[in-house]
Amino acid sequence: MSNPPCSKCGSQFTYEDGAQYVCPECAHEWPQATAAEHTEPVRVVRDSKGTELRDGDTVSVIKDLKVKGSSLVVKVGTKVKNIRLAEGDHDIDCRIDGIGAMGLKSEFVKKV
């Protein structure tokens, strides 16, 4: 495992000194325990059945979904290929044939 970059100057040349990390470029020192706290949590997106979703998966819609701002409806059983996971209210960015690009919530799909 490599040492984390310096949190002050971004240098990649940090080294361990006892229970501390040290940056040789700016002389910044910080405890190793806080380096683990600064890692971002891994975001896991799950479908309606609890299966983990990943970019590129194919999912199926489990209930009729009205498309906001139009009279179109995404019907039950519609397969959506090559999804992309996204941040925000809608977990999935996708393109649906006949409708176009849109966002879906993971609670309304299941992995195929």
Report if pTM > 0.85.
no
Q: Amino acid identity, residue 69? A: G
For 3-61, write each residue's pLDDT tens digit: 888 888 888 899 999 889 999 999 899 888 754 555 556 789 999 999 999 999 999 99
Q: Is 80 exposed, middle or buried (0-12, 13-18, 19+ CB in 10 A)?
A: buried
